[in-house]
Amino acid sequence: MLELFKSLKLDKNSSTPLYIQLSDKIAEMIDNGILLADLKLPSIRRMSSLLNVNSVTIVSCYKQLEIDGYVHSRPGSGTYVAAVLPDRSGNFSDSNVILDELYQSDDLNLINNGHIKINEDTINFASATPQSNLFPVENFKLVLNEVLDRDLGNAFDYQDSQGFYPLRSSVCSLLEKRKIACSEGNVQIISGAQQGIDIIAKALLRQGDYVITESPTYTGAIAVFKSRGAEIADVPLSNDGLNLNILEYNLKKYKPKLIYTIPSFQNPTGISYSNEKRQEILALAERYNAYIIEDDYVSGLDFENMSFTPIKSLDKSDRVIFLKSFSKIFMPGLRLGFMIVPPSLKGYVIEAKHATDISTSGLIQRAFDLYIRKGMWDEHFEIMFDIYRERYNKTVKALDMYLPRNVQFHKPGGGLNIWLDIPSNCLVGSLLKAASAENIVFAPGRIFYSSTPTKLNNVRLSFAAVHTDEIERGIKKLCELISYFDRGESLTGNIPIL
Ligand SMILES: Cc1ncc(COP(=O)(O)O)c(C=O)c1O
């Protein structure tokens, strides 16, 4: 088998990157049945010496094959040919929904191998993104047409890397309401908050630098920091935010450049930091010379009027990079968000943004600016707020009604996620499979940790994508499954036998 890989010819003069050439060849061997399911591919070091290319080429190649569904990696073991291959027919499939969180390969395998199917009837507690039937398509069509008539070809020109100036100005007026002072000069428009995290990492971090994150945290941030070669020092969350003793210990020990936080309705736990903790974290960042990323992905969904103070509004010494996503309220596929960047970092951030994609789409920026100026954003926000609040209330009520007493959960009062601590004899993996047989999906807690979690018994339930009428049925069924597993009873009737 090693001879087979050794005989692969790569063209170092071609404009196609080596890792793509290699992944195409391996995919072809898999398609043709030369490499069979579950075959272990050579290790990165072995493959790079067989082909005389550097190890980054092999890492990128295996990653690409994994993204394309040809292989899966088993942490600590290696990369294996997938048991079920991707559909190469080119047909669009409506049976798979793109999930907003990055699932680890094991979870993706469950989904790809049909153990977890997501289709239109699935009760999807896994995705914290609005359903597409709630997107304000008609109003957006109006502003798009108006922009095209108004700006003609200019709408399609390269844009300022920092963002379309009038949109930066509209963003400042949105922030005024939240008492965050900003000027157009400090706003950076980005293609979604995910890109914002990546750009900050690109601008500030070098291989081996430390970043502090909450534990657990948003999977997309973990993926960015790891991809930049940064080391993650994670800090556990208490019910009112980061554990300050461990935070200070890590700040002293690792001297991180960044602290990545989601202080309001945190993803995945739903926890919000108390106002005192926000102040203390800022003071620690100042003392230990670190910057804070304040990831504000849903702070506006404050159903119980808790009115937390944004850390950015307390920031007198320009320590906080405020990061805003619109995806949870608006249309995530537009890829739009913004950051407020401290003046000392502005140059690095613009450079990193330019190197990434030159600028966010000018047409979309202009259309969104008009959408805000016409008051459509405020209107749409109100609509989404009411829908999400109703779903939140239904979810919490159903959990109160059906959850077994030994399952803990904290009512976040806002946001889109609820974090359950299920009994340890109810394995999350088994629950995931049993629930999917009932056409219910959720996110297993372990995917939100940067390293092996100490606790494996968590479940994240998101209600954003579940129709209000389906919530009670979904929660009731899930709670029945938790009780069955907890009691160690054999599963019968319409509850699947595993
Ligand atoms: C906490 C958090 N930050 C950022 C993002 C990325 O958002 P965007 O779609 O704006 O890139 C997400 C998406 O799920 C998220 O949960």
Number of domains comprising the chain: 3
pLDDT on residue 111: 47
Same domain, 279 and 391: no
Q: Report the distance separating Cα 7 and Cα 15, nearest Å.
A: 21
How far is the C-alpha of 156 from the C-alpha of 497, rounded, in Å?
Answer: 56
- Of ligand 1's listed atoms, the one at least distance from the Cα of 336 is 10
Ligand 1 midpoint to CA 327 (Å): 7
Indicate if 314 and 389 belong to the same structural domain.
no
Q: Nearest residue CA, atom 14 of ligand 1?
A: 100
Half-sphere exposure of 105 (CA within 13 A, CB side): 22
Q: Which residues contact 498 (CB under 8 A, 6 or more apart)?
A: 430, 433, 434, 491
Looking at residue 454, its pLDDT comes to: 72
Residues 6+ apart with CB under 8 A from 13: none
CATH number at residue 259: 3.40.640.10
DSSP-assigned beta bridge partners for residue 293: 260, 321
CATH of the domain at 41: 1.10.10.10
- Domain assignment of residue 13, given as a range: 2-92
Of 374, 407, 422, the residue that ends a domain is 374
Q: Is the CB of 332 within 6 Å of ligand 1?
A: yes
Does residue 97's CB lie within 6 angstroms of at least one atom of ligand 1?
no
Q: What is the pLDDT along the chain (498 residues), one digit of tens a residue?
A: 788 898 899 998 888 889 999 999 998 888 877 888 778 899 999 999 999 999 889 988 898 898 888 888 887 788 988 876 665 544 333 334 445 565 554 555 554 444 455 677 889 999 998 888 899 999 999 999 999 999 999 999 999 999 999 999 999 999 998 889 899 999 999 999 999 999 999 999 999 999 999 999 999 999 999 999 999 999 999 999 999 999 999 999 999 999 999 999 999 999 999 999 999 999 999 999 999 999 999 999 999 999 999 999 999 999 999 999 999 999 999 999 999 999 999 999 999 999 999 999 999 999 999 999 999 999 999 999 999 999 999 999 999 999 998 888 999 999 999 999 998 888 898 899 899 999 999 999 999 999 877 778 999 999 999 999 999 999 999 999 999 988 876 554 444 333
State the pairing for strand pair 458-462/440-444.
antiparallel
Instruction: Report yes or no on 78 lying in a domain.
Output: yes
* Last-in-domain residue among 374, 408, 443: 374
Tell me, yes or no, whether 294 and 308 share the same domain.
Answer: yes
Q: Do both 202 and 241 map to the same domain?
A: yes
> What per-residue confidence (pLDDT) applies to 491?
52
For ligand 1, whether the C-beta of 297 sits within 6 Å is yes
10 alpha carbon – ligand 1 mean position (Å): 37
Evaluate: CB of 220 within 6 angstroms of ligand 1.
yes
293 and 327 both lie in a single domain: yes
**Contact assessment for residue 24 and residue 65, using Cβ atoms and an 8 Å cutoff:** no
**Cβ–ligand 1 contact at 334 (below 6 Å):** no
Q: Is 163 in the pocket of ligand 1 (CB under 6 A)?
A: no
| CA–CA dist 228, 27 (Å, integer) | 26
- 3-state SS record for 33-89: CCCCCCCECCCHHHHHHHHCCCHHHHHHHHHHHHHCCCEEEECCCEEEECCCCCCCC
Structure tokens at 494: 């319409």
Tell how far the Cα of 369 is from the centroid of ligand 1, in angstroms: 21
User: Is the beta carbon of 218 within 6 A of some atom in ligand 1?
Assistant: yes
Ligand 1 binding pocket includes 458 (Cβ within 6 Å): no
| CB-based contact 316:301 (threshold 8 Å) | no
Query: In this predicted structure, what is the pLDDT of residue 72?
Result: 87
In a domain, 13, yes or no: yes
Pocket test for ligand 1, best of 171, 225, 267 (most atoms within 8 A of CB): 267
The reply to whether 117 falls in a domain is: no
Q: What pLDDT does residue 324 have?
A: 96
